[in-house]
């Protein structure tokens, strides 16, 4: 076999799959490797911590919620303060609270198991797209004591910095850029999550509630700036001059 057709895979995005279901992981690894990703696997949260300690951070992590030993949620909670890697949670149970908890810890999206590899691939591409192609608009927005700088992706409330995940930042950016307008859940899901809103899909609601909570932690009245318009969407209230 000639080797001059070998593809340089070093530039492919790196994905770490953390799941105790080794047959599923192997299936996903093979599928994603064929779709131009470099995929590593860890069969537990503890193995993932060892992998992360000895390798450069991956471009994205796929994380199962339910694992023996430390759960996916506990791992995400311990990683989030120091790592902003995009995370897609896999949930084997039907109850929404687990999915929502995963998002509240700072997951970017979730998918129920057993997951369709093509659907997972679409989610991966969407999450990577939004973490890489941030809005090019570099003009800062200042409203009601909140200053958002798209270039540095920093937010301050009354001069105090607030830490947001990439998805939370994009939610706030979109709402502030359309201050005074109602942004529908469909539109917000497409702009921020780069996918269509599906039935019973609570992802965008949870991201909005996280943004509110973080703003409120710094300045309680700011959480009221993001208004839920029942049946319509969300609105960043433009303060009356």
pLDDT in tens, 135-161: 555 678 999 999 998 888 889 999 999
- Cβ-contact 157, 215 below 8 angstroms: yes
CA 17 to chain CA centroid, Å, is: 15
Tokens coding 230:
């029942």
Whether the model pTM is above 0.75:
no
| Minimum mean pLDDT range among 9-23, 133-147, 203-217 | 133-147
CA distance 35 to 117: 11
What is the pairing mode between strands 141-143 and 146-149?
antiparallel
Structural domains in the chain, CATH included, are: 9-132 (3.40.50.2300), 141-236 (1.10.10.10)
pLDDT tens digit sequence for 91-116: 876 656 566 666 767 788 888 888 88
Number of Cβ within a 10 Å radius of residue 133: 9
Tokens coding 84:
């902003």
Cβ neighbourhood burial of 49 (10 Å; 0-12, 13-18, 19+): middle
The pLDDT of residue 222 is 86
Coil, strand or helix: which one is 168?
A: helix
């Amino acid at each position: 076999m000639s080797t001059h057709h070998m593809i340089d895979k070093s530039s492919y995005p790196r994905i770490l799959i953390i799941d105790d279901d080794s047959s599923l992981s192997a299936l996903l690894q093979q599928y994603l490797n064929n779709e131009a990703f470099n995929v590593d696997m860890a069969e537990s949260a503890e193995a993932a911590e060892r992998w992360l300690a000895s390798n450069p951070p991956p471009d994205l992590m796929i994380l199962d919620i339910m694992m023996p030993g430390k759960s996916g949620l506990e791992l995400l909670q311990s990683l989030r303060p120091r790592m902003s890697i995009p995370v897609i949670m896999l949930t084997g149970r039907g109850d929404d609270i687990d999915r929502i908890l995963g998002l509240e810890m700072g997951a970017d999206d979730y998918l129920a198991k057993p997951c369709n590899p093509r659907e997972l691939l679409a989610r991966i591409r969407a999450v990577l797209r939004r973490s890489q192609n941030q809005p090019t608009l570099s003009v800062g927005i200042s409203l009601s004591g909140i200053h958002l700088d798209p270039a540095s992706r920093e937010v301050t409330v009354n001069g105090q910095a607030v830490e947001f995940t990439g998805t939370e930042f994009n939610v706030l950016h979109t709402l502030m850029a359309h201050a005074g307008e109602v942004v529908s859940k469909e539109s917000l899901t497409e702009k921020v999550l780069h996918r269509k809103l599906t039935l019973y899909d609570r992802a965008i609601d949870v991201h909005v509630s996280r943004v509110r909570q973080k703003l409120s932690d710094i300045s309680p009245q700011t959480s009221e700036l993001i208004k839920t318009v029942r049946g319509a969407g969300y609105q960043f209230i433009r303060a009356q001059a």
